[in-house]
Amino acid sequence: MTKITFTFNGKPIELHTDPSRRFLDVIRNDLKHTGPKEGCGEGECGACAVLINGHIVNSCILPLANVHHQEVMTIEGFSKTKRYAVIEEAFIKEGAVQCGICIPGMIIAVESLLNRNPNPSDEEIRVGLSGNLCRCTGYNMIVKAVLRAKEMGKGLW
């Protein structure tokens, strides 16, 4: 048992638990947030993605210890922001959502990308989302949604 403290969607959290546990399990089981999903368990698919200090990280291979003193945001927290509202609208307009299991992670990837680069090209979007696998869409509409989001959200990033 180790004391771990971090900020979770803006709120301070203190846990006493095994610091080697996967952060994804802590989010889903201890903190009861099921937006991040387990798709592969090895950091390959990105369905479990969360923001740590504003940057995308795969929570399924992240030991809890590594979020000690860090700022964490999951899709649940991000969905309360203005930036999210823009991305959501763009994804809906472009029809970029099919089964949806990859989408919370994909949205985190989009936020992380636009955070670093508010005006990405088609190719930069594809590279930025390359750690988030989607089996339904072939990515075409997802790329279009990001292009739309960056236009709609000018000044937000």
Partner 1 sequence: MVRHRIPVTLEEALEHLNETTYKIIAGGTDLMVQNRAWSELPPKFDAPLLFCFNLEALKYVKEENAFIKIGSMTDLETLLHHPLTPEILRKVIYEMASPAIRKVSTLSGNIGNASPAADSLLALYALDAKVEIKSQKETRLSTVSELILGPRKTALKQNEIITEIIIPKSSFTQTCFVKVGGRRADAISKVAFVGCASVENNVIKDIRMTINAVAARLIRRQDIEKGLCEKTPDEVKQNVNAILEAYSTSIQPIDDQRSNKDYRKYTANNLIKAFLNTL
Partner 2 sequence: MSTINKSVPKVEAKDKISGKMKYVSDYHVEGLHYAKTVRSTIAKGVIQSIELPPLPEGVTIVDYQDIPGKNVVKMIYEDWPVFAEKNISHYGEPIMLVVGPSKEMVQAVFDKIKITYQEETPIFDMVQSKVDYHFTKGDPQTAFQEAKKTIKYTYETGYQEQAYIEPQGFIGTLEDEKVTLIGSIQAPYYVKNAVIDTLSCKPEDVRIIQATVGGAFGGKEEFPSLIGCQLAVALKKVKKPIKLIYEREEDMEVTTKRHPSKITMEAAIDEENNITAIKSHVGIDGGAFLGLSSVVLSRAMIAATSAYTINHLQVDGDVYITNTVPNGAFRGFGAPQMIFAVEMFINHLAKDLNEDVHDFRLRHLAKQGDKTTTSGTFRDPILMPEMIKKACQISGYHKKKALYESSEKMKGIGMSWFLHGCGFTGSGEADHIKAKVKLRKDEADHVYLEIAAVDMGQGAKTTLMKVAAEVLELPLEAIHFANPDTDIVPDSGPTVASRTAMVVGGLVARAAQEINENWQSGKPQIVHKSYKQPDYMEWDQATFNGDAYPAYSWGVNVVEVSVDPASLEVRVEHIWSVYDVGKSLDDNIVIGQADGGTAQGVAYGYLEVMNHRNGKLLQKNMTDYVIPTAVDMAKTETVLFDNPFAYGPYGAKGAGELTLVGGAPAVAIAIEMAINKRVSKIPATPEYLMELMNND
19 binds partner 1 (CB under 8 A): yes
- Token digits of residue 15: 């846990």
Considering only residues 37, 112, 134, 150, which one is a binding residue for partner 1 as defined by CB under 8 A?
A: 112
Q: Could you tell me which stretch among 7-15, 17-25, 136-144, 147-155 binds partner 1 (CB under 8 A)?
A: 17-25
Q: Give residue for tokens 């399924």.
A: 60
Which of partner 1, partner 2, none binds 148 (CB below 5-8 Å, type-dependent)? none
The neighbouring-strand residues paired with 52 are 55, 72
Q: x-or-dash pattern for partner 1, window 26-65, by CB under 8 A?
A: ---x--------x--xxxx-x--x--x--xxxx--xxx-x
- Token digits of residue 66: 């590594």
Binding footprint of partner 2 on the chain (CB under 8 A): 28, 33-42, 44-45, 47, 74-76, 79, 84, 87-88, 91-104, 107, 122, 125-127, 129-143
Which of partner 1, partner 2, none binds 121 (CB below 5-8 Å, type-dependent)? none
Report, in Å, the least distance between residue 43 CB and partner 2: 9
Assign 3-class secondary structure to the chain: CEEEEEEECCEEEEEEECCCCEHHHHHHHHCCCCCCCCCCCCCCCCCCEEEECCEEEEHHHCEHHHHCCCEEECHHHHCCCHHHHHHHHHHHHHCCCCCCCCHHHHHHHHHHHHHHCCCCCHHHHHHHCCCCCCCCCCCHHHHHHHHHHHHHCCCCC
Residues forming contacts to partner 1 in the complex (CB under 8 A) are 2, 4, 18-22, 25, 29, 38, 41-44, 46, 49, 52, 55-58, 61-63, 65-66, 68-70, 109, 112-113, 116, 126-128, 130-132
